[in-house]
Chain A
Amino acid sequence: DAGVIQSPRHEVTEMGQEVTLRCKPISGHNSLFWYRQTMMRGLELLIYFNNNVPIDDSGMPEDRFSAKMPNASFSTLKIQPSEPRDSAVYFCASSLPYRLNPGELFFGEGSRLTVL
């Protein structure tokens, strides 16, 4: 069984450029989460979806960030325009319905973003 698949694994870009991170959750999982990890702030939840619908985007830093989940097998996190302070590792995670397996998230290997 494939786990959560993220792409790209590494991205180096220049300030002002658009960045798109992609995630394929585990088949059958109905919740999807985007986290950001930095040394200063640790793991931050940016947004999560249930059944492709955004439930809580209160962690999205500002309007430069947007996330979509057009179907159950694909999600994107877009940053436009990117800034150096967006440099971080971005993780996607998916899970079964909460009532079936509370709190067990399956994480991808992350996308390391460097904005110069």
Chain B
Amino acid sequence: AQSVTQLDSQVPVFEEAPVELRCNYSSSVSVYLFWYVQYPNQGLQLLLKYLSGSTLVKGINGFEAEFNKSQTSFHLRKPSVHISDTAEYFCAVNGQGGKLIFGQGTELSVKP
């Protein structure tokens, strides 16, 4: 069965600093991986996705993630964060039948 583990529940960081949000997955089938972002009082929206091909995936708002099959990881990175990046970030993996299995979320808090 597929599962996702987000290793940090909260990540505080100062503005303009780099950030990495960690995600490990478990899957017995071909893997599709996703990062979603949830701003306060809103629904989730897709940041980026890995389906195949290049292991480095670029998404919106300057975020990128790297698929590492040997380490079963899909960490999200941004070289310089802004206050507006404060949000909750969810890693997800494809499940059977087109559903997504989400991790527990990582709360990114960017401080001035």
Q: Is the interface of A mostly helix, strand, loop or mixed?
A: strand
Given the complex, which residues of B lie within 8 Å of A42, measured CB to CB? 102-105
A104 touches B46 (CB 8 A): yes
A4 nearest in chain B by CB position: B43
Given the complex, which residues of A lie within 8 Å of B45, measured CB to CB? 106-107
Given the complex, which residues of A lie within 8 Å of B36, measured CB to CB? 105
A109 touches B41 (CB 8 A): yes
Other-chain contact of A55, B49, B97, B100, B105 (Cβ < 8 Å):
B97
Given the complex, which residues of A lie within 8 Å of B51, measured CB to CB? 102-103
B30-51 vs A: 1/0 string, CB under 8 Å?
0010101000011111100101
Given the complex, which residues of B lie within 8 Å of A56, measured CB to CB? 96-97, 99
A33 touches B99 (CB 8 A): yes
A34 to B: closest C-beta gap in Å: 11
Q: Which of A68-76, A77-85, A91-99 contacts B (4 or more CB under 8 A)?
A: A91-99
Kindly state whether residue B90 has any CB partner on chain A within 8 Å: yes
> How many A residues are at the interface, by size bracket?
20 to 34
Contact flag A43-B98 (CB < 8 Å), given A103-B32, A109-B42:
no
> How many B residues are at the interface, by size bracket?
20 to 34
Given the complex, which residues of B lie within 8 Å of A98, measured CB to CB? 97-98
B102 touches A105 (CB 8 A): no
Kindly state whether residue A115 has any CB partner on chain B within 8 Å: no
Given the complex, which residues of A lie within 8 Å of B102, measured CB to CB? 42-43
A91 touches B98 (CB 8 A): no
The residues of B with any CB-CB pair to A shorter than 8 Å are: 32, 34, 36, 41-46, 49, 51, 90, 92, 94, 96-105
The residues of A with any CB-CB pair to B shorter than 8 Å are: 4, 31, 33, 42-43, 45, 48, 50, 55-56, 91, 93, 95, 98, 102-110
5 additional contacts, CB 8 Å, given A42-B103, A45-B99?
A45-B100, A98-B97, A98-B98, A102-B32, A103-B51
